[in-house]
């Protein structure tokens, strides 16, 4: 009788590791956990604060004001005719914020959750995914702010005479997906590596900030091209910025919403492919780590 039953094992726990071991059925079974994690993040983030969710608005608004003052009023970066620099910066910051929140939120997954990871099993991928989803809600709120300012500038001032959304705005979900994939991929890779080598966690904080300067958040890409042509900026730096997938997505976002810059299908596809690649890389590292991290963290 035993020999017949021998084949009926439902689950196996073994040391063997496959590079990508995504059990979609299992993740689907735990979908409620994903939503509850998102709910937890949203509920608890601004508990015991007076302004509460208004903080979601305060941070991008103040940053935008400062950027406008420093980069446009003092350093006089030209954001293009008929586009108020405030709106230009707000678009950049809103999209950049989503990426950076995804990246820094997932980059300490293992370390921040070691207590719970050390006690119970659930598909670990749920945790970084929940960060991405809950940040999506914040991004939605910030997007609403952006839209309100957009309408304000368009209908109540003549500063935004040329700001018009372009038809490619239909691709917006994909642009958001690209940002999420890059943030998630890097975040998962970093969180896997920091379990063993803590050095990387120091890198994340200022690394994200440095990356922002190389991602065309507060200046248009056309400015970089112009500077390279005039020989003010080394060519290498110019192309690094140009082919940074985040530059492409932010430029795309601004193009879609404000009509600045131009749309290039090749660049769009390039960014999409790179983001999928980064995501897979992060996923492989994450999978490799999740089985043994509790011994190394």
Partner 1 sequence: MSDIILKAKNISKQYRLGLVGTGTISHDLNRWWYKVRGKEDPYLKIGESNDRSTKGSSDYVWALKDINFEVKRGEVLGIIGKNGAGKSTLLKILSKVTGPTTGEIKTKGRIASLLEVGTGFHGEMTGRENIYLNGAILGMTKKEIGSKIDEIIDFSGCQRYIDTPVKRYSSGMTVRLAFAVAAFLEPEILVIDEVLAVGDAEFQKKAIGKMQDISQGEGRTVLFVSHNMAAVRNLCDRCMVLENGKISFVAETEKAIEFYYNSSTNVIKTIDLNDRKRAGDLGKQLKIIKLIVNTNNEEKNTILVTGDKAFFKLVVENISGMEYTNVSFTVSVFNEAGSFLFASRSDCISKVYNINKPIQTFTSYIEKLPLNKGEYTININCSLNDRMLDSVHEAHIFSVQEGDYYGSGKLPAKKRKGVYVDYKWL
The SS3 assignment for 225 reads helix
**206/291 Cα distance (integer angstroms):** 29
Q: Does 291 bind partner 1 (CB under 8 A)?
A: yes
> ∠276-181-250 over CA atoms, to 5°?
105
CB of 280: closest distance to partner 1 in angstroms? Answer: 21
User: Which class for 213: exposed (0-12), middle (13-18), buried (19 or more C-beta within 10 A)?
Assistant: exposed
> What would the x/- binding string for partner 1 be over residues 140 to 159, using CB under 8 A?
--------------------
From the list 43-51, 73-81, 138-146, 184-192, the region that binds partner 1 by CB under 8 A is 43-51
Binding test (CB under 8 A) with partner 1, winner from 65, 70, 116, 144:
116
Q: How many residues bind partner 1 (CB under 8 A)?
A: 40
The SS3 assignment for 163 reads coil
Q: Does 15 bind partner 1 (CB under 8 A)?
A: yes
Binding test (CB under 8 A) with partner 1, winner from 78, 133, 196, 200:
196
Residue positions counted in the chain:
297
CB of 3: closest distance to partner 1 in angstroms? Answer: 12
CA Rg, the chain, in Å? 22
For residues 179 and 272, the answer to whether their CB atoms sit within 8 Å is no
Q: Does 98 bind partner 1 (CB under 8 A)?
A: no
C-alpha torsion sign, points 82, 57, 133, 275: positive
Q: Does 44 bind partner 1 (CB under 8 A)?
A: yes
User: What is the widest separation between alpha-carbon atoms in the chain?
Assistant: 84
Q: Does 40 bind partner 1 (CB under 8 A)?
A: yes
Q: Does 2 bind partner 1 (CB under 8 A)?
A: yes
Binding test (CB under 8 A) with partner 1, winner from 19, 23, 29, 59:
29
Q: Does 28 bind partner 1 (CB under 8 A)?
A: no
Q: Which of 132, 130, 151, 152 is nearest to 140 (CA)?
A: 132
Q: Would you tell me which residues interact with partner 1 (CB under 8 A)? A: 1-2, 5, 8-15, 17, 29-30, 32-33, 35-37, 39-40, 43-44, 47-48, 115-122, 196-197, 291-292, 294-296
């Amino acid at each position: 009788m035993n020999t017949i039953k021998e084949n009926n094992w439902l689950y196996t726990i073994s040391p063997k590791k496959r590079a990508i071991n995504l059990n979609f059925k299992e993740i689907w079974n735990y979908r409620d956990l994903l939503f509850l994690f998102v709910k937890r993040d949203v509920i608890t983030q601004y508990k015991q604060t007076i302004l509460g969710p208004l903080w979601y608005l305060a941070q991008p608004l103040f940053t935008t004001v400062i950027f406008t003052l420093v980069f446009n009023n003092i350093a006089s970066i030209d954001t293009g005719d008929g586009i108020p620099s405030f709106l230009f910066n707000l678009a950049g910051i809103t999209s950049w914020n989503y990426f950076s929140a995804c990246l820094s939120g997932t980059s300490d997954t293992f370390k921040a959750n070691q207590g719970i990871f050390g006690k119970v099993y659930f598909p670990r991928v749920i945790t970084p995914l929940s960060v991405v989803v809950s940040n999506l809600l914040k991004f939605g709120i910030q997007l609403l702010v952006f839209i309100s300012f957009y309408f304000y500038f368009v209908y109540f001032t003549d500063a935004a005479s040329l700001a018009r959304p372009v038809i490619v705005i239909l691709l917006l979900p994909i642009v958001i997906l690209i940002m999420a994939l890059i943030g998630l991929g890097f975040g998962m890779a970093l969180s896997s590596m920091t379990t063993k080598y803590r050095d990387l966690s120091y890198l994340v904080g200022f690394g994200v900030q440095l990356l922002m300067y190389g991602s065309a958040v507060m200046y248009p890409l056309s400015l970089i091209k112009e500077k390279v042509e005039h020989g003010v900026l080394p060519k290498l730096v110019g192309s690094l910025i140009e082919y940074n997938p985040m530059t492409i997505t932010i430029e795309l976002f601004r193009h879609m919403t404000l009509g600045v810059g131009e749309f290039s299908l090749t660049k769009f596809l390039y960014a999409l492919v790179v983001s999928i690649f980064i995501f897979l890389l992060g996923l492989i590292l994450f999978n490799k780590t999740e089985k043994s991290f509790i011994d190394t963290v």
